[in-house]
Amino acid sequence: MPLTLQSRLPHVGTTVFSTMSALAAQHGAVNLGQGFPDFACDRRLIDAVDAAMRADHNQYPLMAGVPALRQAVAAKIAALYGHGYDADREITITAGATQGILTALLAVVHPGDEVIVLEPCYDSYAPNIELAGGRVVRVPLNPQTYRPDFDRIAAALSPDTRAIVINTPHNPSATVWTEAEMRQLEALLAGSEVLVVSDEVYEHMVFDGASHQSAARFPGLAERSFIVSSFGKTYHVTGWKVGYVAAPAALMAEFRKVHQYNVFTVNTPMQHGLASYMADPAPYLDLPAFYQAKRDLFRAGLTGTRLRLLASEGSYFQCVDYSEISDMADADFCAWLTREVGVAAIPMSAFSVEAPVQRVIRFCFAKTEATLQRALDKLASL
């Protein structure tokens, strides 16, 4: 007798990232689609994890994370953003940033609650909200600049609004929120009980001398925010799936209630290794220059094509408008680009449901110079 199963996520299928990576492999294309590096991490970090393993740090750590790592995170946030978090009560180590976002939403969103997302956005947000029983309220970013439209955000707020998810530096558009925009959000939410989930996984990838405007910098946001970041993004170890969440003690207490039952705790030797490695801030302080050099190389190589470059203010993404080349839908254009040109990208439509249709695709430049040059040689035909 066949089983009857009602899906919790009936509209979710295979992600476009998996689809495009498979297509790239099938055609031997240079994969600038999925957002992860193709270069090695610092060997000192590997050595630190190896040392932790050999020191027998191989059993369960504390549920909230290894104290030394939580203390290192608290010290970093205080030094960079001027906000003091209690490492014992206000920081939790997570199995990557995506788990941190899901756990935050599960902790505070109840059936019928509304959660605002700003489209286009990272594709886990909406399913996470739905798994928590919430209703996704989609507010488009400005379709020309991908900046927040505060009139639309204000109009979307209702008595049922439980939270808003923000992301800076932004995936997929590579825009970076300004201090003025963060203060505008702070003023908009003042006096309300709306919470903020602030996805800051690209916090150390901000270019051209700008500064990352963490929600931790702004008291009115810090008091209501879960701030999410990623060691995988910062240290080129996305496969390790280790991140962290910082939040006021009352919010973190609810977060940990969920965390202890959906993950419980996170890889012990990697936490010890990361704590040791963080004693030297240079790897994350030098990251803007490291990725800006890659961005500049990639942008310079595209200037001779008919692809129109959009701003890349932060993250490791570069979006381009291909409307001078084709009137194909963006997903079809990405498939054609992979098959016929030999470079894989991600269609911007993968990040939105209600945002206006545009002929924009996203490349990832977190690659070696050799990989980027191979891609540029192929894209030169455009």
pLDDT of residue 358: 85
Q: In this structure, is residue 9 part of a structural domain? A: no
Report whether pLDDT(12) > 90.
Answer: no
Q: Are 157 and 191 in contact (CB under 8 A)?
A: no
- Do 36 and 138 have their domain in common? no
Q: In this structure, is residue 111 part of a structural domain? A: yes
Q: In this structure, is residue 366 part of a structural domain? A: yes
Q: What is the mean pLDDT of residues 27-54?
A: 96
- Do 31 and 142 have their domain in common? no
Which of 248, 280, 312 corresponds to the end of one domain?
280
CATH number at 293 reads 3.90.1150.10
- Do 207 and 291 have their domain in common? no
Q: In this structure, is residue 295 part of a structural domain? A: yes
Q: What is the mean pLDDT of residues 94-122?
A: 97
- Do 161 and 30 have their domain in common? no
- Do 139 and 233 have their domain in common? yes
pLDDT of residue 11: 86
At 168-194, the pLDDT tens digits run 999 999 999 999 999 999 999 999 999
> Taking all residues of the chain, what is their mean pLDDT, rounded to a whole number?
96
- Do 82 and 102 have their domain in common? yes
- Do 82 and 199 have their domain in common? yes
Q: What is the mean pLDDT of residues 287-313?
A: 98
Phi-psi region of 317 (alpha: psi -120 to 50; beta: other; left: phi over 0): beta
- The model's confidence at residue 199, banded by pLDDT at 50, 70 and 90, is very high
- Do 366 and 248 have their domain in common? no
- SS3 track for the chain: CCCCCCCCCCCCCCCHHHHHHHHHHHHCCEECCCCCCCCCCCHHHHHHHHHHHHCCCCCCCCCCCCHHHHHHHHHHHHHHHCCCCCCCCCEEEECCHHHHHHHHHHHHCCCCCEEEEEECCCCCHHHHHHHCCCEEEEEECCCCCCCCCHHHHHHHCCCCEEEEEEECCCCCCCCCCCHHHHHHHHHHHCCCCCEEEEECCCCCCECCCCCCCCHHHCHHHHCCEEEEEEHHHHCCCHHHCCEEEECCHHHHHHHHHHHHHHCCCCCHHHHHHHHHHCCCCHHHHCHHHHHHHHHHHHHHHHCCCCCEECCCCECCEEEEECCCCCCCCHHHHHHHHHHHHCEECEEHHHHCCCCCCCCEEEEECCCCHHHHHHHHHHHCCC
- Do 37 and 59 have their domain in common? no
Domain that holds residue 367: 16-41+285-379
Q: In this structure, is residue 177 part of a structural domain? A: yes
Report whether pLDDT(78) > 90.
Answer: yes
Which of 280, 315, 342 corresponds to the end of one domain?
280
How far, CA to CA in Å, does 226 sit from each of 163, 178, 285, 309?
A: 10, 19, 23, 33
Domain total of the chain:
2
pLDDT of residue 180: 98
Which of 235, 259, 280 corresponds to the end of one domain?
280
- Sheet arrangement for strand 114-119: 91-94, 243-246, 225-230, 195-199, 161-167, 114-119, 135-140
- Do 36 and 165 have their domain in common? no
Per-residue tokens: 295: 């961005």
At 42-58, the pLDDT tens digits run 999 999 999 999 999 99
pLDDT of residue 15: 81
Report whether pLDDT(356) > 70.
Answer: no
At 269-278, the pLDDT tens digits run 999 999 999 9
- The model's confidence at residue 355, banded by pLDDT at 50, 70 and 90, is low
Query: Which of 247, 122, 152 is CA-nearest to residue 195?
Result: 247
Report whether pLDDT(357) > 80.
Answer: no
Q: In this structure, is residue 2 part of a structural domain? A: no
Q: Are 232 and 41 in contact (CB under 8 A)?
A: no
Q: In this structure, is residue 122 part of a structural domain? A: yes
- The model's confidence at residue 120, banded by pLDDT at 50, 70 and 90, is very high
At 359-382, the pLDDT tens digits run 999 999 999 999 999 999 999 999
Q: In this structure, is residue 79 part of a structural domain? A: yes
CATH number at 245 reads 3.40.640.10
Per-residue tokens: 36: 């992860």
Strand partners, 319: 362
- Do 49 and 140 have their domain in common? yes
- Do 196 and 299 have their domain in common? no
| CA atoms of 374 and 195, how far apart (whole Å) | 44
Strand partners, 321: 308, 360
What is the number of alpha carbons within 13 Å of residue 293 lying toward its C-beta? Answer: 7
